[in-house]
Amino acid sequence: MGRGRKGKSLDPIEDFRAVVKISVKRSVFKETEDLKTRIAEASESVSRKTLHNITTHSINYFEKCFNKQPL
């Protein structure tokens, strides 16, 4: 999800955006619906568990980053 590397990003915003993007791409648009509406609905449908996993993943790497250790 991160640019130029495989695996999860260390940026929780990018991870969230990727989850929303997948949801929007998999949905079928209704005639009266626009992209803005679909993005808003997809954002609201992200579960608390997914948000927790996204933030926990980044938190687990904070100490390594602060100590300039390889990830």
Span 1-59, pLDDT tens digits: 444 444 556 788 899 999 999 999 888 877 777 889 899 999 999 999 999 999 988 88
Task: Judge whether 61 and 55 are in contact, CB under 8 Å.
Answer: no
pLDDT number for residue 63: 78
Q: Are 58 and 20 in contact (CB under 8 A)?
A: no
CA nearest neighbour of 51 among 23, 21, 19: 19
**Domain extents in the chain:** 12-66
Q: Which helix (H) or strand (E) holds 53?
A: helix 48-66
